[in-house]
Amino acid sequence: MAITTSAKKAHRASLKKHVINVRRKRALTTTTKLVIKTLTTDAGEARKSLSAAYQAIDKAAKRGIIKKNTAARKKSRLSAAVKREALKK
């Protein structure tokens, strides 16, 4: 356990940051899953939810929750999946 006051303060700060990071990562996964889920039912709705997923991915990359290349890969794969489903129908 932390002994000095500065170490205690740093620990409190890290706990607060952890909550924010978990929240942002959860938003990332839920929006991504929503796009995948709506692909099977409605391609138009998937296109609309794709922008929300892009926003969540970009915010996660900006804050350092995921790396820049990981964000680019996720966005690329999501857009390819949406495009693929649009061509099917």
Residues of the chain below pLDDT 70: 89
The angle at the Cα of 84, spanning 68 to 40, to the nearest 5 degrees, equals 100
SS3 content of the chain, % helix, strand, coil (to 5): 90, 0, 10
- Looking at residue 44, its pLDDT comes to 80
- Looking at residue 88, its pLDDT comes to 79
CA distances from 52 to 40, 43, 61, 75, 82 (A): 18, 15, 14, 11, 14
Written as one letter, the residue type at 42 is D
pTM of the model as a whole: 0.84
CA distance 57 to 2: 34
- Looking at residue 86, its pLDDT comes to 82
